[in-house]
Amino acid sequence: MNEAAPQLDSIIMSGMLFYGYHGAFPEETRLGQRFMLDVTMRLPLEQAGRYDDLEQTINYADAYALIKGIVEGEPVKLLETLAERVAMELFHTYTRIHELTVRVTKLHPPFGGQLQGVSVEIHRKRA
């Protein structure tokens, strides 16, 4: 008999701003720029809520520090790579996460045009 899949809830970290040196153009990796990240982590939160137990959830201050270390760390060319690194490190660090969505926004892309930014959003499920 199959056990029912757990009910998944969400922890949403939105509008995180970091300064990084990512991009395909030399001036981006030399001068750097601001990036905004939104992360939604899907996991069961019933036990955490029922028992007021931090051990049954994810400490989002720690998750923020992990994300910050990636975005402000080693430069990459693509937003896709940055999003993938964040996703994989969150999965590796927090085994409670069943699936997640990571959106990385480059607020000032280096080309002419009126826009608020360019985003890449990925959705991953634990294998």
Give all domains of the chain, ordered by start, each with its CATH number.
9-125 (3.30.1130.10)
What is the tens place of the pLDDT at every residue in 44-62?
999 999 999 999 999 999 9
Q: Flag whether pLDDT at 2 surpasses 70.
A: no
How large is the average pLDDT for residues 31-35?
A: 94
How large is the average pLDDT for residues 66-88?
A: 98
Q: Flag whether pLDDT at 1 surpasses 70.
A: no
For the annotated catalytic residues, the residue numbers are: 106
* Per-residue pLDDT band at 112 (split at 50, 70, 90): confident
Token couple for 120:
């890449």
How large is the average pLDDT for residues 79-99?
A: 98
pTM: 0.92
User: What would the 3-class secondary structure string for the chain be?
Assistant: CCCCCCCCEEEEEEEEEEEECCCCCHHHHHHCEEEEEEEEEEECCHHHHHHCCHHHCCCHHHHHHHHHHHHCCCCCCCHHHHHHHHHHHHHHHCCCCCEEEEEEEECCCCCCCCCCCEEEEEEEECC
* Per-residue pLDDT band at 115 (split at 50, 70, 90): confident
What mean pLDDT is reported for the chain?
94
